[in-house]
Structure 1
Amino acid sequence: MDNISHRGGSALDELVPSRYALQVGDIDVLVISDGVLPITASTLATNAPPPELAGWLADMFLPPDVLDWALNVVVVRSGGRTILVDAGLGLEFPGFPRAGQMATRLHAAGIDPSAVTDVVLTHMHMDHVGGLLADGLKASLRPDVRIHAAAAEAEFWEAPDFTRTVMPEPVPEVLRSVAARFLNEYRGKLRTFENEYEVAPGVLISRTGGHTPGHSIVRLESRGERLTFAGDAVFAPGFDNPQWHNGFEHDPDEAARVRVRLLRELAATGESLIATHLPFPSICRVAAAGDVFRCVPSMWDY
């Protein structure tokens, strides 16, 4: 027992698992935990009556005020390309000491950042682009790496409008400054698309909007198997309460429509779902009863 890693240790063979591999046909997928960050519970459902939100939190055995929010990123290999889907938070936010683990965990998984040919961004919130600004990853990326994002997303962050969000201070200004830094440093590597773009065989980015104007999901399909990385289109409360608004949503009504449409589709196809802020490794399928949904966790394949 003296030789195993301990919780909070720095060894690469962490006691708590932080990566999970699976196959989608011929496509290799690795889910990596970037850690967790705290979020005020009220941000999860800004339009819900407080007693209803309190009841949901109690039913889920979650604290009523501040809870942990998972951060998941994905590495995809297809057609000779290695694709990083989102980049986590990065290391420069002292208020979030348990997040920003991606660079270390890529190394632990045996993935050299210089092997990454493409980065796909579901959107440009700081917990999705911050890792690209961190020294542990930025200096290791190959010079010709391609970064894909919806054109509407890049355009939005030139002059972001937060009037429909309900975010605690100082989050809006931090989001604004991180996105500005990202665009300044990576504009030359940015490859934008309008609605859809196939990054590699069976790896399709599709813009949904809602959460942010250019928010996108990544759909994988190979040999009859399918998986969707939903980014921030789906949060834990959004299964049984899909009309609840998340405080980070820039168009909350559209975000709810996107969520319901996506969950209906996933329930109909039976394909797997991964999302940024569902508990690691977040792989599940969706069951539906009208506009109420359930996240059915997939069995870990040991």
Structure 2
Amino acid sequence: MTSHLKETAMSLDNTSRAARPGHDELVPSRYALRIGEIDVLVLSDGVLPLPTAMLAHNAEPAVRAAWLDDMFLPPDAFDWALNVVVVRSGGQTILIDSGLGSDPNLNLPRAGQLVMRLEAAGVDLASVTDVVITHMHMDHIGGLLVDGVKERLRQDLRIHVAAAEVEFWKSPDFSRTSMPQGFPDALRSTAKRFIKEYHGHLRTFDEEHEVAPGVVVRRTGGHTPGHSVVRLASGGEGLTFAGDAVFTVGFEQPGWYNGFEHDPEEAARVRVRLLRELAATGELLVATHLPFPSLGRVAADGDAFRWVAAFWDY
């Protein structure tokens, strides 16, 4: 991996400087790298504690429990990471997803940290020219619904999202998901509110769209009908932000169904295709729910895959 951390941090508004008073944290929450001429900053929006059954609701409980035990994870619930990416290319500043925001009804106080962590990294909301939404689950759009955020964003902000995703949330189908109580209603209401508040900023695409030089968003479907991934390519290097196409368990068990997947069979097919592509190219992968900074590569391992975490570059 070619990574020029000092140069990248400087071009990302001095992201490596000390956090402002009140923002000091003892956990790592941002990681900067460069893909060719594209600056990339991975930010943690915090963590979501969720039932482990949601990792694989089509797996035998004993098999799922054995996997969790092998991974030294608790049997009932554990913390899912929430990662967001800021990209600078061609004079544009692009936010890919926006984290959970605030939903007190779901009691998730350790998520929704994005605004604070953007500020601590020196990234001004007013500098964001574009937002890419991989899909409209609340942990990807909620940060834009936090009180006061919209007023700080540019009036000419462009929000790129697949047309199929917007259409789906007009009348969403949860019949094939397996979520904790309260989540479907929260997802439905958050998506409805997001479309209402930001409809004038939406720039929809059908299958693929170049947001900025070397920044291409592509619809995959599966997780939701309009779920999309974002590939960065510059100087012979590449990185894919996979959104929710890949979860931690998905390397060893790509056929296990996640509870948030609206079309589990198609989501599994999407996952396998994407992991095969990345194993073949050796390009970097970042995903929403892989442990922060979720930066690594994919190796093929028979019919399954192996996650190879990148060494941190200081």
TM > 0.5 between the two?
A: yes
User: In structure 2, what is the Cα distance between the partners aligned to 1:57 and 1:119?
Assistant: 35
User: In structure 1, what is the Cα distance between the partners aligned to 2:267 and 2:36?
Assistant: 30
Deviations 1:67-108 (A, max 9, x none): 101000000000000000000000233600000000000000
User: In structure 1, what is the Cα distance between the partners aligned to 2:36 and 2:66?
Assistant: 40
User: In structure 2, what is the Cα distance between the partners aligned to 1:251 and 1:19?
Assistant: 32
2:95 corresponding residue in structure 1: 84
The residue matched to 1:135 in structure 2 has which SS?
A: coil
Matches within 5 A, 1:109-188: 109-188=121-200
2:13 corresponding residue in structure 1: none
- How far off its partner does 1:168 sit? 1.4
In 2, are the aligned partners of 1:24 and 1:227 still within 8 Å (CA)?
Answer: yes
Matches within 5 A, 1:240-259: 240-259=252-271
Letter in 1 for 2:123: I
Deviations 1:189-248 (A, max 9, x none): 100000000000000000000000000000000010000000000000000000000010
Matched, 1:221 2:230: no
Percent of aligned positions with the same letter in both sequences? 69
Ranges in structure 1 where 5+ consecutive residues have no aligned partner? 1-9
User: In structure 1, what is the Cα distance between the partners aligned to 2:185 and 2:153?
Assistant: 27
2:42 corresponding residue in structure 1: 31
- How far off its partner does 1:137 sit? 2.4
Letter in 2 for 1:135: D
1:212 corresponding residue in structure 2: 224
In 2, are the aligned partners of 1:260 and 1:291 still within 8 Å (CA)?
Answer: no
In 2, are the aligned partners of 1:92 and 1:134 still within 8 Å (CA)?
Answer: no
Matched, 1:49 2:70: no
User: In structure 1, what is the Cα distance between the partners aligned to 2:96 and 2:150?
Assistant: 15
1:268 corresponding residue in structure 2: 280
1:194 corresponding residue in structure 2: 206
User: In structure 1, what is the Cα distance between the partners aligned to 2:70 and 2:135?
Assistant: 31
Deviations 1:104-123 (A, max 9, x none): 00000000000000000000
The residue matched to 1:279 in structure 2 has which SS?
A: coil
- How far off its partner does 1:136 sit? 4.7
Matches within 5 A, 1:87-98: 87-93=98-104, 95-98=107-110
User: In structure 2, what is the Cα distance between the partners aligned to 1:265 and 1:208?
Assistant: 13
- How far off its partner does 1:280 sit? 0.3
- How far off its partner does 1:17 sit? 1.3
Alpha carbons of structure 1 residues 247 and 175: separation in structure 2 relative to 1, 3 Å: same
For normalisation by structure 2, the TM-score amounts to: 0.92
User: In structure 2, what is the Cα distance between the partners aligned to 1:286 and 1:176?
Assistant: 33
The residue matched to 1:278 in structure 2 has which SS?
A: coil
Matched, 1:291 2:303: yes
For normalisation by structure 1, the TM-score amounts to: 0.96
Ranges in structure 2 where 5+ consecutive residues have no aligned partner? 1-20
Q: CA RMSD in A?
A: 1.1
In 2, are the aligned partners of 1:150 and 1:214 still within 8 Å (CA)?
Answer: yes
User: In structure 1, what is the Cα distance between the partners aligned to 2:129 and 2:103?
Assistant: 25
The residue matched to 2:167 in structure 1 has which SS?
A: helix
User: In structure 2, what is the Cα distance between the partners aligned to 1:93 and 1:74?
Assistant: 24
